[in-house]
Amino acid sequence: MYKKVELKDGFVGMERKVSEMWKQKEIVKKNFAMNEGKEYFTFFDGPPTANGKPHVGHIETRVIKDIIPRYKVMRGYKVIRKAGWDTHGLPVELEIEKSLGISGKEQIEEYGVENFVKKCKESVFTYVHMWEEMTNKVGFWLDMEHPYVTYHNEYIESVWWALKQMWEKGLLYEGHKVMPYCPRCGTALSSHEVAQGYKDVKDLTCIAKFKVLDKKDTYILAWTTTPWTLPSNLALAVNKSYEYAEVKANVGTDDEPQYENYILAKDLIDEVLRETPYELVKTFKGEELLGTKYEPLMPFAKVDGKAFEVIHGDFVTLTEGTGVVHTAPAYGEDDSLVCKQNGIAFVNLVDKSGNFVPEVEPWAGRFVRDCNEDICKWLKERNKLFSKEKHVHSYPHCWRCDTPLLYYPKESWFVAMSKLRDELVENNSKVNWYPETIKTGRFGNFLENVIDWGISRDRYWGTPLPIWTCEDENCGHRECIGSIEELKEKAINCPDDIELHKPYIDDVYLKCPKCGKKMKRAKEVIDCWFDSGSMPFAQWHYPFENKEIFDNNFPGDFISEAVDQTRGWFYTLMAIGTCLFGTSPFKNCIVLGLVLNEQGQKMSKSKKNGVDPMELLDTVGADATRWHFYVSSSPWLPKRLGIKNVQETRKRFLKYIVECVFILCFICRNR
């Protein structure tokens, strides 16, 4: 709970009296009712997750969100300010796992999916009273009595409609791809989720020695930041346009020399062999290496097909490493694509929990990232390790549970965003971004390199993927259901009061129109970011009702969230708006900078250096806090926040007011 603070500040006391007066006289409701029949100005509120406590960053977003709609109402516009709650997904599931003392999908299923889902549903508004209290204290006028809630059947039905539209446009498909995967949560993540979870970590890297077939003491040197993928190596990638070299290196001593020949990029020789004497044997283009065969590095992969040869990869660079990339097609998107293009076989030696399978005998059953040191030791004992060292690099972690991600082969459902790349870029060019640099920088670059959106999740609490497949594999007919009415029309056994969640929806079967057999729903739920990105229409249960109010309020005029949402909510809004309506769903966006503590440090729970939002508001008041966010720096810049610097901001403001009053009095007296 938040710390209780005794109200000693007179300004805070006055604010409380004003707030009570607003409540008694229903001032906020009257403001919402103003300007009926006038031109709309549309504000979209990004939905927070109500099973987590608000923090001071949420004060910033509410302060900035409030000022524009408030101003527009005073200018005579009709402004709807509908609150929303994001209620699905991993954030909720992980909290329930903690509360039940369980961990992972296996224990969830032992507990019972129905019981687990009920717990999730019961928990989503755990801290809603804190959100409401903070929102009221800070003076953010928002309609919290009639919010949109993403777990409501009406909201889910609108999301189903959106998916059906994508299905009919050929944008929704099932595919097998190597995807970022959280072994803790047991599900794949989308690219925009991954973008939110990168951390700088110090990992063990190594350069392994791949023995060229039928050439004595000749090795290709390949660098990897993920030694755990080496048991699954099937190819080595070079860039055919680069210069490579073969060198004769003395790996012994001056008194007792011992020579091995190494192949690597010419420009990287001095860096790689900085402590190893060598002489140049020959240089050649990378193209001459293509097709070179080498011995398997490790004996665990039982390969049926083409493998263990050098191929070309455009992704190979000379910025670090050896200019040769170890390639394991099961654990990297680039690896997977280049191996497919070259007809290389496929091997996966890791299970869904991120542990090595029994075939990898030395480390069977162990989490792969815990085996890096042992793998390097194994290589060294067999003269297959050239070097190893710790290396700081940016590595993706699960945005919710903080587990390091693996790239892993998965069947998943995708929205073909790559087909809409040009439309996305064009729609983005019409948005007014504050700051302008977001348009072509952080957000624009993401759109330029957009990949297909993996939307399915192997989880439990979420909007169910509305795709049914015939149980007869020879038939294979599939249908995407776009409404409750369509579901009841085509189902064999749909209850009138159907609950559109697992496990209830999984018990509803359709009759296959082709062969007459049963059709079963795909087991997955969808990315909860798809829910929040659907809010412009789903908040109104469009297209099933409220068509006029939607038409009058789409696209939205104004949105604002913190900078991390450029690859979160901002992206999913743009992606879905482009898919369904061919336009950006928002016209203007203010991107907010990080809120730092008084020392300019990022606030962190682990460091306990944050500011309690309620303590701040109870100590210095909402007006001073709001004013601090408005004047301390531009909204998109990082800003320091603490009780002392907000008090300083208030003093400067009051001093300015006093000076203005003094000047006015002086002018009036001397007339």
- The beta strands (E) that lie in 150-272 are given as 172-182, 187-188, 198-211, 218-224, 235-238, 243-250, 259-265
Judge whether 529 counts as a catalytic residue. Answer: yes
Region of 254 please: left (phi>0), alpha (psi -120 to 50) or beta.
alpha
Catalytic residue among 529, 539, 635, 639: 529
Cβ distance 647 to 624 under 8 Å? yes
Catalytic residue among 547, 602, 644, 655: 602
User: Which two structure tokens, joined as six digits, stand for 270?
Assistant: 């001095």
Between β-strands 82-85 and 143-149, what pairing exists: parallel, antiparallel or unpaired? parallel
Catalytic residue among 565, 585, 613, 639: 565
User: Which two structure tokens, joined as six digits, stand for 319?
Assistant: 């910025």
Terminal Cα distance for the chain, rounded: 58
What's the length of the chain? 671
**From CA 31, how far away is CA 73, in angstroms rounded?**
8
User: Quick one: 67 exposed, middle or buried, by C-beta within 10 A (0-12, 13-18, 19+)?
Assistant: middle
Nearby residues of 528 by Cβ (< 8 Å), 6 or more positions away? 86, 88, 89, 90, 91, 150, 462, 463
- The beta strands (E) that lie in 101-170 are given as 143-149
SS (H, E, C) 611-642: CCHHHHHHHHCHHHHHHHHHHCCCCCCCEECC
User: Which two structure tokens, joined as six digits, stand for 67?
Assistant: 């000022």
Cβ distance 104 to 131 under 8 Å? no
Judge whether 374 counts as a catalytic residue. Answer: no
Catalytic residue among 335, 569, 636, 639: 569
Catalytic residue among 47, 183, 329, 536: 47
Judge whether 47 counts as a catalytic residue. Answer: yes
User: Which two structure tokens, joined as six digits, stand for 279?
Assistant: 């002489």
Catalytic residue among 4, 216, 390, 605: 605
Region of 354 please: left (phi>0), alpha (psi -120 to 50) or beta.
left
Cβ distance 326 to 224 under 8 Å? yes
**From CA 666, how far away is CA 65, in angstroms rounded?**
38
Judge whether 602 counts as a catalytic residue. Answer: yes
Q: Which of 393, 388, 391 is nearest to 377 (CA)?
A: 388
Catalytic residue among 45, 86, 452, 531: 86
Dihedral (CA of 513, 517, 522, 523) sign: positive
User: Which two structure tokens, joined as six digits, stand for 446?
Assistant: 């993401």
**Mind telling me the catalytic residues?**
47, 86, 529, 565, 569, 602, 605
